[in-house]
Structure 1
Amino acid sequence: MKKNLFFIALLLSLSQFSCKEDFLVTTDPTRIGTEVFYKNETQFRQAVNGVYGQLQTITNSAYVFGELPSDNTTVDLNPLDRGDAVRWEAFEFSTVNAGNTDISSLWRQYYSALYNINYTLEKLSISGLDATAKAPIEGQLKFLRAYFYFHLVQYFGDLVLVTSTLGNPDQAFDLVRSPQAQVWVQIEIDLTDAVASLPATYPATQVGSATKGAALALLGKVYLTQKKYSEAVSTLKQVTGYTLNPVYADNFNPAKKNGPESIFEVQYQGGNDLGEWSSFAYVFAPRASAAAITGFASTPPGGRNIPTNDLIAAYEPGDLRKDASLKTSYTLNGTVVNIPYIIKYTHPHTISGRTDDNWPVLRYADVLLMLAEALNEQFGPTPEAYGYLNQVRTRAGLKEVSGLDKAAFKMSVLKERRVELAFENHRWFDLKRTMTPAELAAFMNTYGAKERANPTVSRGGISFTAQDYVYSDYEYYLPIPASEILINSKLTQNAGY
């Protein structure tokens, strides 16, 4: 059996194994071996940039796991091609199983990035870099490792926790899943180290790199997710130097990237052939919209991540965020087509399929709403908690809220997070954080019944199956990919799959 496990990907790609036959020992002039790399600050920065590149790839499909399973988005399915029904569409209809190839791709992508992080950290620890040069590199790597595990532990629960490379590939077959509690401890350790190591800002040439503020904001979210409310408040209050953008839409305008509200965003660059572009506008536009939304008919739209009727109804009258986030129809050849679509990532660009839009990961509005939530959980709706919540509402053109009890305030914050952070891959994690598995299943079954009765998008004659929109408690976690269990029989499967 091939030993092509996720965490030895780089080991293989860097060709660290050699053959005894001298005539087979050759040097590829297009590749740099590890024995001559990792020697100076420039090379270590290149290694970190490689992980940021993997973050781009992971983010390209993150909506499948962060929005589609929730009540925020649905699909504009193709009735003539049902090949995707068992892949990304399964996350919308709650028909995911352990053989889903999108889950196995997710697993491999994350663990490949984690291997590269661990390998680079090991090389960094024995390098001759001085402390000043080493600190921000180590801090970024630990921030990214924490970020990846923060996602994985919420997706899968107990995890294979690896923080060092393996001396022998055969050791991979002895790895087992660690308890969630152990994973959370490691995340906190990495972020605490990152806070101590990272600078508040970078030179213009390094804009977009993880900062101290990013590590603090993520650590605060980690505490909030674990219901460590006191720690969340004290940590999030240290996220300083940021302000709300006066205009909500400016947060997503490629001409105003990394603005005053941006704490951390995934960097993309369109308009060239460098391979760093994004394409969310094309992925999210309704299938038959041609050039009506993107401006280019040569790259077919994907019809994925369509805003639901349920989400559209959640916007209050006069909410300025609605028109900056979605449209409820488009016009094609003079005909109005009533299919909603996301516009947060739809901006003018010069080359078909290559947009310049970044992806927001952490914004100051998120921090304010997390503070409001954590304070309310501790003390109820205090004036301070109202202040954080109402800052976000005021920017949106809405009236301040007041006079709520603790439960109502909690629901108000959750609703505010839904519309403020719509289509930024927060919704599914927010639902999981605030509900038990049984509560989440009941909530999603109620939503599913509404979507079955009145689909947001016509299904073109394709009937729902008996399994569509039927949620069970065990779906709180994704299944461990069947392909990984086949490779390593010591990995256990999540209950229910």
Structure 2
Amino acid sequence: MGSFAMVQGYLTGYFSNPYEGQEPTCKYSRLLTRQENTVTVSGVTEGVWKDCYKIINVANGSINSIPNIKMDEEVAKRLMGEAKFFRAFNYFMLVKTFGDVPLYTTFYSSADADMMLLRSSAASVYELIESDLKEAVESLPAVKFADNAHRITKYAAAMLLTDVYMYQNKYADAAQTAKIVINSPHKLVANDDLEMGSAYNKLRTTDDLDEAIFVREANATISTNNWLPTYSVTSSFLELKDVKYAITERIYGPSDRFLNIYDKNDLRRQPNQFFHWEYTQASSGKKWSDKNAGCWYWFDEDALLSSGRGTKDWNFYRYAEALLDGAEAIAHTSGVTAEAAGYLAQIKARANMEGKTVEAITVELQSMGKDAFIQECWRERLREMPLEFKIWDDCVRTKMFPVVSETTPGKIDFVPLVGATNAAGATFTENDLLWPVATTEIQRNPNLTQNEGYSMN
């Protein structure tokens, strides 16, 4: 079983895990039967709850203490901005996952303190998140993430704030913060060619690119990216020589239907861009192949066949997402302007295999109506970030579900999320928009209430 972010993707039915018999939360998510299996699913959501609140408590300790510590004023300002970023980042995860959550702003150094708070409204949680991030944007350095010793920057904070605004449908605000990132030193990675020198292969193999706005670092000796390389292939990969992992499996396996998000000439759909179907080991000549798509975006030859330690950083936010946010937010508030069309055109041009320029695509997009353009932004989000776990957030944010054609490549329609049928044949209800509060957390804190549709026990 992979990360909780992966599990969220199973809700759409477009992804599956062959281990779901052993990891039933994956199955309950795909079949939308979480409510009937609250206790089992709670074992996963408890980890989200505990991990987020641990980090929030550390951030609160910094925020409460920094004003009382003698230090350089600029250093104090930067440290405060970083702490507020991480408090906001984790509260955003909590509020998206559970809705109303307890709002802690005081540092707890002992379990003797009264920590049995009621759930605060999502609105009040968002108010704190926005306040924290506005301060972070103002106080953090205006440099690229890689040029700041991988510490939080103004642009990482602005990107997170944009995400927060988009999630609440505050598109005028989102347009402004997206432009902060778009006008930054960050930029899209370019294609050197349409094969291994493509932008998507650079994103797969190379850290510290100008496109990376906020990442989780991985290192061979301090903190690897865990099992991620093994998720890029199926179990038959173990038949190759000297595989360094005991298990390999595409536990976030995209269905053939999902791959119809792309038309036939989209570079991102071609072998060895985001996905792959075969690999030949140079040292032995042995070949791995499978009829089902593996996730090439996570493939790490050195980790799988040499070191056994994945070192590729994980990109939480990329410049491509800032362009997509900016295009959609501007369209919501000002219509299909040349600016909005130009942002979306940059994403489309990079994936185009026919030599179409950004300028030509911009002109084409400007002929679209507002609603059609916004939906095209949603389609490009699916195509540009298929393996970065954005799909469920986009469903909840837009309250729309992407219906991918089973027969026509590139055709994606959108229908209201509640009442829609996912790709596994299950129907979404209002209760599916949130996860259950872990039953163990409710036992620890009797002031907590459970989300509608889930059990208290």
Q: TM-score range by the shorter chain?
A: 0.7 to 0.9
Which amino acid is the alignment partner of residue 227 of structure 2? S
When residues 383 and 89 of structure 1 are mapped into structure 2, their CA distance, relative to the original with a 3 A threshold, is same
Give, in whole Å, the separation in 2 of the partners of 1:414 and 1:204: 29
Cα shift readout 1:444-466 (whole Å, capped 9, x = no counterpart): x24222xxxxxxxxxxxxxxxxx
Structure 1 position 312 matched with structure 2 position 259: yes
When residues 202 and 424 of structure 1 are mapped into structure 2, their CA distance, relative to the original with a 3 A threshold, is closer
Structure 1 position 375 matched with structure 2 position 313: no
Give, in whole Å, the separation in 1 of the partners of 2:218 and 2:288: 33
Which residue number corresponds to residue 327 of structure 1? Answer: 276
Cα shift at 1:186: 0.6
Structure 1 position 93 matched with structure 2 position 39: no
When residues 168 and 275 of structure 1 are mapped into structure 2, their CA distance, relative to the original with a 3 A threshold, is closer
Which residue number corresponds to residue 496 of structure 1? Answer: 453
Cα shift readout 1:153-189 (whole Å, capped 9, x = no counterpart): 1111111111212476354453011000001101101
SS state at 1:338 partner? strand
Which amino acid is the alignment partner of residue 325 of structure 1? F
Moved more, 273-282 or 128-137: 273-282
Cα shift at 1:410: 1.5
Moved more, 197-206 or 486-495: 197-206
Structure 1 position 483 matched with structure 2 position 440: yes
Which residue number corresponds to residue 392 of structure 1? Answer: 347
Taking the TM superposition and a 5 Å limit, the aligned residue runs for 1:392-431 are 392-397=347-352, 400=361, 401-402=364-365, 403-431=367-395
Give, in whole Å, the separation in 2 of the partners of 1:73 and 1:348: 24
Pick from 196, 206, 212 the counterpart of residue 262 of structure 1.
212
Which amino acid is the alignment partner of residue 341 of structure 1? G
8 Å contact 1:76–1:286 — kept in the other structure?
Answer: no
When residues 265 and 123 of structure 1 are mapped into structure 2, their CA distance, relative to the original with a 3 A threshold, is same
SS state at 1:132 partner? helix
Two-structure CA RMSD over aligned residues (Å): 2.7
Give, in whole Å, the separation in 1 of the partners of 2:338 and 2:348: 15
Which residue number corresponds to residue 404 of structure 2? Answer: none
Which residue number corresponds to residue 194 of structure 2? Answer: none
Which amino acid is the alignment partner of residue 345 of structure 1? W
Which residue number corresponds to residue 432 of structure 1? Answer: 396
Which residue number corresponds to residue 231 of structure 1? Answer: 173
Cα shift at 1:329: 5.3
Give, in whole Å, the separation in 1 of the partners of 2:177 and 2:287: 53
8 Å contact 1:150–1:187 — kept in the other structure?
Answer: yes
Which amino acid is the alignment partner of residue 347 of structure 1? D
8 Å contact 1:261–1:363 — kept in the other structure?
Answer: yes
Cα shift at 1:108: 1.1
Give, in whole Å, the separation in 1 of the partners of 2:427 and 2:23: 19
Which residue number corresponds to residue 67 of structure 2? Answer: 125
8 Å contact 1:63–1:423 — kept in the other structure?
Answer: no
Give, in whole Å, the separation in 2 of the partners of 1:145 and 1:222: 13
Pick from 228, 238, 243 the counterpart of residue 296 of structure 1.
243
Moved more, 60-69 or 214-223: 60-69
8 Å contact 1:280–1:345 — kept in the other structure?
Answer: yes
Cα shift at 1:302: 3.8
Cα shift at 1:388: 0.8
Structure 1 position 110 matched with structure 2 position 52: yes
When residues 381 and 170 of structure 1 are mapped into structure 2, their CA distance, relative to the original with a 3 A threshold, is same
Which residue number corresponds to residue 228 of structure 2? Answer: 280
Cα shift at 1:330: 5.9
Give, in whole Å, the separation in 2 of the partners of 1:215 and 1:298: 36
When residues 286 and 250 of structure 1 are mapped into structure 2, their CA distance, relative to the original with a 3 A threshold, is closer
Which residue number corresponds to residue 55 of structure 1? Answer: none
Which amino acid is the alignment partner of residue 285 of structure 1? V
8 Å contact 1:331–1:337 — kept in the other structure?
Answer: no
Give, in whole Å, the separation in 2 of the partners of 1:113 and 1:295: 39
Give, in whole Å, the separation in 1 of the partners of 2:145 and 2:28: 43
Cα shift readout 1:197-246 (whole Å, capped 9, x = no counterpart): 11123797853211101111111221121111111111211111111100
Percent identity among equivalent residues? 27
Give, in whole Å, the separation in 2 of the partners of 1:188 and 1:165: 20
How high is the TM-score relative to the length of structure 2?
0.83
Cα shift at 1:416: 0.2
When residues 397 and 436 of structure 1 are mapped into structure 2, their CA distance, relative to the original with a 3 A threshold, is closer
Which residue number corresponds to residue 143 of structure 1? Answer: 85
Which residue number corresponds to residue 252 of structure 1? Answer: 203
When residues 291 and 231 of structure 1 are mapped into structure 2, their CA distance, relative to the original with a 3 A threshold, is farther
Cα shift readout 1:396-449 (whole Å, capped 9, x = no counterpart): 116524322222112111010001011112111011111169922333x24222
Which residue number corresponds to residue 441 of structure 1? Answer: 418
Which amino acid is the alignment partner of residue 260 of structure 1? D
